[in-house]
Amino acid sequence: MATADDGERRGARVGQTIRGLLLWIGAAVLGAFGCTALANLALGGGWSEDDVRGVLALGLGTLIFTLGGSAFLVLVFAWMERWSMPPMARYGTLILVGAAAGAAVMLPFGTPASSAAGLAYGVATAMAWAALHRILFGTR
């Protein structure tokens, strides 16, 4: 027989699942488009229609990498949480792992510029992940 407590627990689980999906997808989107927009500005681009289209196209292209990276960060964070690491140590470790993983994923492309881009996208995704986790879940 279902009780009111069961309904509350189920509601809490659904809420946590929705926040988890927002975290996973949100960090990937922020990492992909934020890093692409910053790279565009750093390389002398502006906000003309062509520049914005280029940022959107490249951002969509990099989203496949940042979605995978964000999923990997979820697993790393869960592992660190299981070992009871302090929250700020977890966030710092995530940024280092994001940087290393981003650079490693881009190594097969063979140029230092691609590894540097992977590092930048990895850091951006990890920072977005840490910020969103802090906003959505608070400190645990």
Domain ranges of the chain: 4-137
The structure tokens 């992940």 sit at 129
140 pLDDT higher than 60? no
Specify the pLDDT at position 47: 79
Query: Under a CB-based contact definition with an 8 Å cutoff, are residues 118 and 103 in contact?
Result: yes
Give the residue among 23, 22, 25, 43 at the shortest CA–CA distance from 33. 25
Residue 38 tokens, joined: 């910053």
Give the model confidence (pLDDT) of 42-58 as tens digits: 878 777 888 888 888 88
Q: Give the whole-angstrom CA distance, residue 28 versus residue 59.
A: 10
7 pLDDT higher than 70? no
59 backbone dihedrals φ, ψ, rounded to 5° = -60, -45
Cα atoms found within 13 Å of the Cα of residue 76, Cβ hemisphere only: 23
Q: Give the whole-angstrom CA distance, residue 33 versus residue 61.
A: 10
What number is the average pLDDT over the span 108-130?
A: 88
Q: Give the whole-angstrom CA distance, residue 105 versus residue 42.
A: 23
Query: Under a CB-based contact definition with an 8 Å cutoff, are residues 126 and 94 in contact?
Result: yes
**pLDDT over 70 for what percent of the chain?**
92
Specify the pLDDT at position 91: 92
Going by pLDDT thresholds of 50, 70 and 90, the confidence category of residue 139 is low
Residue 65 tokens, joined: 């990498």
